[in-house]
Amino acid sequence: MNARSAMKVVRPPGASSIVAIAAHPDDIERWCAGTLALAAAAGATVRLVLVTSGDKGTSEPGAAPEQAARVREAEAREAARILGLSDVAFLRYPDGEVENSRELRRDLVAWIRRWRPDVLFTHDPEHPWPPYLFHRDHRATGRAALDAVYPLARDVLTFPELAATGLAPHVVREVWLFAGTSVDAAVDISSMFERKLAARLAHRSQTPDPIALRERWRALDAEAGAAAGLALAETFAIVSAG
């Protein structure tokens, strides 16, 4: 990622309820796990919605998607435990085939209304990193999550069948977009880097070389922090939604 101008250092959100929406089981570990762990340690209730279970994420010959998904869901639960997350919801859309569909938007609205976050974390669908060659599921997930935040989760006449089950409209105050090229806010994650790394290493099926991963991730978070004068950081574009 290129150095950014006007980068400001911010604290993790002080919200009482935070939800992260990600495409794959190991996405938050790369982009926002340190920040989420800091928020959880400070007393926030932090939860995760995974749109897919990463059922294409295997190089094992003859592996079945169902088996890959079971492995990756178990890894995601262990990573969430390490980070101090309270819950993980699996929507089980097919890996690599996510679309910003009415069905997905409805599912995301349901979880937003159920968990009622003050702050939501998701992929930046408009300015994604890396440019051009980024995973299509990230774009579709981020766009659907933003659509769910505004205006769908807020509006009483949207998905009235959800309100009929007790899922009342809810206003998300703020969205923190990760994995983007237009970020302007940095969180110091130096104290949580090892926990972030441990959560990522819990995804054993995705980690052929733990030593190389550790070195690469430290370098990436050091690069992110350099723009804000921090040793290690995660960076975001923060959007007011409420």
Quickly state the pLDDT bin for 2 (edges 50, 70, 90).
very low
Q: In the structure, what pLDDT confidence band is assigned to residue 1 with cuts at 50, 70 and 90?
A: very low
Q: Within 13 Å of residue 83, how many CA atoms lie on the same side as its CB? A: 36
pLDDT at 6: 74
Query: Average pLDDT of 193-199?
Result: 98
pLDDT of residue 198: 98
pLDDT of the residue at 233: 98
Nearest in space to 188 (alpha carbons), one of 239, 218, 229: 229
CB count within 10 Å of CB 67 equals: 13
Tokens of 150: 């505004």
CB 32 within 8 A of CB 73: no
The pLDDT, as a whole number, for residue 77 is 98
Residue 242 has pLDDT above 80, yes or no: no
For residue 128, pLDDT beyond 60: yes
Q: In the predicted model, is pLDDT for residue 5 greater than 70?
A: no
Residue type, 24: H
pLDDT reading at 3 higher than 70? no
CA distance 54 to 228: 33
Mean pLDDT value of segment 47-74: 92
Reported pTM? 0.96
Distances (CA, A) of 180 to 122, 124, 126, 194, 236: 10, 5, 8, 23, 7
Of 58-72, 80-94, 102-116, the range with the lowest mean pLDDT is: 58-72
Domains of the chain, earliest start first: 8-240 (3.40.50.10320)
Which of these ranges, 2-16, 35-49, 55-69, 147-161, has the smallest mean pLDDT?
Answer: 2-16
Torsion sign across C-alpha atoms 190, 194, 199, 205: positive
pLDDT for the residue numbered 172: 98
pLDDT, mean over the chain: 95
Using the predicted structure, report yes or no on whether residue 92 has a pLDDT greater than 60: yes
Measured distance CA(107)–CA(116) in Å, rounded: 14
Q: What is the pLDDT of residue 62?
A: 76
Q: Is 207's pLDDT higher than 60?
A: yes
pLDDT at residue 27, rounded to an integer: 98
> What is the structure's pLDDT at 132?
92
